[in-house]
Every structure is written in C-alpha cells, then in structure tokens.
Chains A and B, each alone.
Chain A
C-alpha cells in the first residue's frame, strides 16, 4: 500500500462514515478495501471506535438541578417580578406606603437599621468579617436574617434565609428548607418591611 493511496482512501472512509460518499467513490473504497489488508484494518478500527463511543451510557443531570438554577437566577429578575406585582396592584401599594410612612417609624428605623452588620444569633453560626457562615455538616434550626453582610451556606438551614444589603452564596451541598430572599437598598427593604407588616396584620 502506498502512503498516497492511503491518504485518499482514508478520506473516503471518513466521508463514508459521514454518509457523504457518491456512488463512484463508494465503489472505489470497496474495491480498495478488498485488496488492501491495512486499509481494511484501519476502516474496521474506525467503525469499532464509533461503536465504542456510542456505547457510552447517557448521563443525567443531578437531583435538584432545576431548583438550583431557579434559585440562582439574578435578583434583578426577582426584583422585577416584585415591580410587576406592584404595577398590577398600584392602589394597594400606595395605600400601604401611606400607612407605613405615616405611622412614623419607617424613616428613623431605616436609618438605624442600615448602619451596621447584624444577624440572627444561632449557636452554630460562624462569622468571618462581615460574612455569616453556616458551616458544613451543621444544621441551623430557625430563620436567619443577615443585614449589611453576606451569608455563605455550606450546611443546612431549617427555615428562611433573608439577606439585606448583602449576598447569599450557596455551596453545592448547602441546603435551605425555607425561602431565600435577598433584599437590596431602600426599595427592597421597604418592600420587605411592608410584607412583614401585612403578614403581621393577618397573623
């Protein structure tokens, strides 16, 4: 077998494997393979390789994949869903805002509460600088609110997690049984307060 014939034949083999041989070429390949042991071996190996690759089992996305994606969607999107809700209910929003503002506490408590890093105390929480850490293997029972700081969840939280003016980081193994909320700046904070107030009214 000549090296030059080999090159042309190998090209034909690949075109054959891609289903792109015209009939003349197909005959040429067939005739060559009948007389050339090396090319026959080469062709056989290619077909075997493809069969091996195709024999690989299909892998499936891990458990909870979709939930994790939805949790990780950017918070602007979550904010805009709040805004959409308000557009649909402008009267309620205006009325509530009026009540909250006129009952007075809002502005002064906003200033007080925006100043410093604070979080709900739990025995097994760690703190690194302004980051609250739920350590791996630990289980925190109850809700956690972090203000002006971040939270990193490596273990489990049995309750809701709320982060005000901060970020939430979930480790792959981290788990929160309740709702996770990130609130930014005055608007979101106001919304959060409002929701709590409304929830309080109905409780």
Chain B
C-alpha cells in the first residue's frame, strides 16, 4: 500500500511536480535522518547529510528502478553519503562550508546546535549517550549494519540490498559488530 503511494508520487516527480517530492520527503525524513544521526552523531551534520540524500534522490530519480523497493534505494544513498563523510574526516563537512570564509558561520552553527536542547533533552540521558558512543566507536562498516538492523529494524537481506553486499558479508559484519558492542557495553 505504502509502496503504491510512493510509486504514484515518483511518477508525479518525474513529470516535474516538486510538491509530490515534498510528500516523499515527509514520509521518509525521520528514517533517513535517524540513519544519518546514528552514523555521524552530530545533529547539524546529520541534517546536512539527510538533506543531501533527498536532493540526490531527487536529481537521480530517473535512475530509480520502480521494480525495487524505494526505501532500499533511498537508504543506500543516505548510508553512502554518511560513509563518504566519515571517510573524508574533514573538520567540518557542512553544505554551508562550501562558502568562503566559513569560520564565523561554523561558530554560529555550533551556537545554534547548543540551542536545540528541548529535542535533545529527551535523548540526553547518560545511558543513551553511552550506547550511542559505543555505536559510534564501531568502524563504519559495522556501524552501518548495526544501525540498519537494530534501529531501522531491517531484515538482513534488505541490508544486503541497501549496502550492495553479499548476504554472507552482512551476516559477518552483524556478528562482528555485535561482538564489538558487547565488549563496550558488557559492564553496563
């Protein structure tokens, strides 16, 4: 049912209807943002990455194969962008950072992020911090599978499709990711 609505919206987007794309963003924004936030552990960066993912999806919508699940395609774009950002390991990888003379801007952004307390407060319990930091300590290849499996609650086969990896590789990564997390969290 959901896929049907999505497929209809995609057809409208292909005809140039940007509002239809807005509806797609509404449906998937929380999921995509969650992947980015858990991967990058920084609100601003996660927002940038999630925005970039949707923009990239829009620009490349004609390459999406309607025979396949849309979410798989979208999550692939999002996880790849996050992995790219992690690998680049630049001190700031804001979309805004492309502007010249960014020092002031970044300071400003940091102030802005400190102001986002109400939303963060829910999550800022010490335990959540510890668990998130354990996830964040994982190498990105384990981090992505753990997030997709346990936070997005996806099946192993779907994770394999998103990451374009053989199922066996995904299983191995889940096993190793769980073992690494166990070492970080066993004394909780």
Q: Does A23 contact B (CB under 8 A)?
A: no
Q: Is A58 a contact partner of B30 (Cβ separation < 8 A)? A: yes
Is A128 an interface residue, CB under 8 A from the partner?
yes
A66–B25 Cα distance when bound, in Å, is 6
Residues on the B chain within 8 Å of A3, using CB: none
Cα distance, A54 to B147, chains bound together (Å): 10
Residues of A within 8 A of B51 (CB): 65, 68-69, 72
The distance in angstroms between the C-alpha atoms of A61 and B27, with both chains bound, is: 11
Count residues of chain B with CB under 8 A from any CB of chain A: 57
Chain B contact residues: helix, strand, loop or mixed: helix
Give the contacting residue for B175; candidates A14, A45, A73; CB below 8 A. A14
The complex places the Cα of A186 from the Cα of B187 at a distance, in Å, of 67
Chain A interfacial residues counted at CB < 8 A:
44
Interface assignment of A52: CB less than 8 Å from any CB of chain B? yes
The interface residues of chain A lying within 8 Å CB-to-CB of B44 are 172
Partner of A69, one of B55, B131, B179: B55
Is A52's CB under 8 angstroms from B33's CB?
A: no
Interface bits B24-41 vs A (CB < 8 Å: 1, else 0): 011001101110011000
Contact of B178 with A14 in the complex, beta carbons under 8 Å? yes
Interface contact A173-B109, CB-CB below 8 Å: yes
Give the chain B neighbours of A61 by CB distance below 8 A. 29-30, 32-33, 47, 50
Q: Which residue of B lies closest to A63 (CB)?
A: B119
Given A66-B26, A70-B18, A73-B58, the answer on whether A59 and B47 have CB atoms closer than 8 Å is no
**In chain A, what residue has the closest Cβ to B185?**
A49
Q: Are B55 and A74 in contact (CB under 8 A)?
A: yes
A65-95 contact mask (Cβ, 8 Å, vs B): 1 or 0:
1101110111001001100100000000000
Contact check, A56 vs B151: say whether CB atoms are below 8 A apart: yes
Binds A, one of B3-11, B64-72, B82-90, B96-104: B96-104
Q: Which residues of B contact A49 (CB under 8 A)?
A: 178, 181-182, 185-186
For the complex formed, measure the closest distance between the CB of A81 and the CB atoms of chain B, giving whole angstroms.
6
